[in-house]
Amino acid sequence: MNDRVINTLMLSGRLLLAALFVAGCVQKLVDPEAAQALLEGRGLPGFLVWPALAFNGLAAFCLIRGLWLAPVSFALALYCMITSIFHLIPDDPWQMSIFVKNWAIAGGLLVLTAHSAQRPTR
């Protein structure tokens, strides 16, 4: 595969991943109460929605622009793994599918981390 195809695929993948975090940012901005209730339901302070919103937005921006891809992708992978705990409800198949998707997204982000550490963005 030539560099042009690889770069196009990398950009497409980054944009698709970023879309998820842009949506998370917008969702927290439009309806912070839902995320706050989720946090508080797990014994965490509801105000954590605001740093999460900022992290989602900043990380999405970095993915889109190709900035600090290895550390940002790694941080996002950890974020997905940690936040998956909110969906670990074995009796609810819908929540379990979200739990598994979070881990799958984390896997893709770890691949991006490794690839970005090996190959600078163009």
pLDDT for position 121: 54
| pLDDT attached to residue 117 | 87
Q: Tens-digit pLDDT profile for the chain (122 aa)?
A: 899 999 999 999 999 999 999 999 999 999 999 999 999 999 999 999 999 999 999 999 999 999 999 999 999 999 999 999 999 999 999 999 999 999 999 999 999 999 998 876 55
pLDDT at 71: 97
pLDDT tens for residues 43-65? 999 999 999 999 999 999 999 99
69 burial type by CB count under 10 A (0-12 exposed, 13-18 middle, 19+ buried):
buried
Q: What is the C-alpha to C-alpha distance for residues 3 and 22, in angstroms, rounded to an integer?
A: 28
Q: Give the model's pLDDT for residue 27.
A: 97
Within 13 Å of residue 37, how many CA atoms lie on the same side as its CB? 4
| pLDDT score, position 120 | 61
